[in-house]
Amino acid sequence: MKQLRQCLGRFATGVTVVTCSDAAGNPYGITANSFSSVSLEPPLVLWNIAKISNSLQAYLDATHFAIHVLTAEQEFLAEHFAQTDHSRYDNIAYDFSETGVPLLPDVLARFDCRTADIYEGGDHYIIVGEIENHLFDDGEPLLFYRGDYRRVEHPG
């Protein structure tokens, strides 16, 4: 298992924070590097959540969620939402969307989604979202490679 994890870690990914609210309106956020585009027509994206996640039920029940692509300067958000308690918004700036989803400011890109499908996939669930709104900005992405956060290096 350790060697497989190391092998998978050779694929550099962007870093996202996926947010939702539970039925009572409590905000949740989780760091995920399993984000991928699926389709342009209809506009679909997916991400994965572990079946052992403390916030699993909130995401399985959510009708809407947002995927935030982090900038290189937002490693603190990735680390914060990678912690066990994904409902912690201590000292984190955010607003709520019209659908009640927590939205993080100043991200590289954001996809506001309606939950379209959920599939079981081994020890994870695959959550597919239909993009209802999106935005993007200029900046450098935060990357995850070989078990650590990285930045794009420019020759200089």
pLDDT, tens digit, for every residue of 2-36?
Answer: 898 889 888 889 999 999 999 999 999 999 999 99
Q: What is the pLDDT of residue 130?
A: 98
pLDDT digits (tens, 9 = 90+) for 41-53: 999 999 999 999 9
- Residue 17: CB partners within 8 Å, gap ≥ 6? 29, 30, 31, 32, 67, 68, 70, 77, 78, 81, 104
Separation between Cα atoms, residue 49 and residue 96, nearest integer Å: 22
- Residue 148: CB partners within 8 Å, gap ≥ 6? none
* Residues 47 and 18 sit within 8 Å (Cβ to Cβ): yes
Confidence of residue 83 (pLDDT cuts 50, 70, 90): confident
Separation between Cα atoms, residue 67 and residue 97, nearest integer Å: 13
How far is residue 112 CA from its own chain's centroid?
A: 11
**CATH code of the domain made up of 2-36+54-113+136-151:** 2.30.110.10
AA letter at 139:
G
* Residues 33 and 104 sit within 8 Å (Cβ to Cβ): no
Query: What's the pTM?
Result: 0.94
pLDDT over 90 for what percent of the chain?
80
pLDDT digits (tens, 9 = 90+) for 54-82: 999 999 999 999 999 999 999 999 999 99
pLDDT digits (tens, 9 = 90+) for 124-136: 999 999 999 999 9
Confidence of residue 156 (pLDDT cuts 50, 70, 90): low
Confidence of residue 116 (pLDDT cuts 50, 70, 90): very high
What distance, in Å, lies between the first and last C-alpha atoms of the chain?
38
DSSP string, 57-119: HHHHH-SEEEEEEPBGGGHHHHHHHTSS-TT--TT---EE-TTS-EE-SS-SEEEEEEEEEEE
